[in-house]
Amino acid sequence: MADNVHDVTLEILKGIQASVADVRTTIDELRADMVGHFEKVEGGLRKERRSNAGTLFMMRATAGRARIAGPETQRASGRVARAA
């Protein structure tokens, strides 16, 4: 009877070990999938960041031109009094 219990215990431990190995394999597969997903998300974020930086640059450039062009346009039309 003692031998039978010993054999059953070994079989249970082997089953547990196989289950742990399956879980590790599944976790590794999920981790690989998540890395791919995160790379896609990071790529999208980089693209949006570049786009937003370009938009901000264009807005600043446009606002700068409007401020510079404003007084010059007014002087040419005679609306701004020139300092003597």
- pLDDT tens for each residue of 25-59: 999 999 999 999 999 999 999 999 999 998 988 88
pLDDT at residue 4 greater than cutoff 80: no
- Please provide residue 76's backbone torsions phi and psi, each rounded to the nearest 5 degrees: -65, -30
Which of the four pLDDT bands, split at 50, 70 and 90, describes residue 84?
Answer: very low
CA 79 to chain centre: 51
pTM reported for the whole predicted model: 0.45
Distance CA 79, CA 82 (A): 9
Contacts of 74 (CB under 8 A, 6+ apart): 80
Region 1-28 average pLDDT? 86
Asked if residues 80 and 71 have their Cβ atoms less than 8 Å apart, the reply is yes
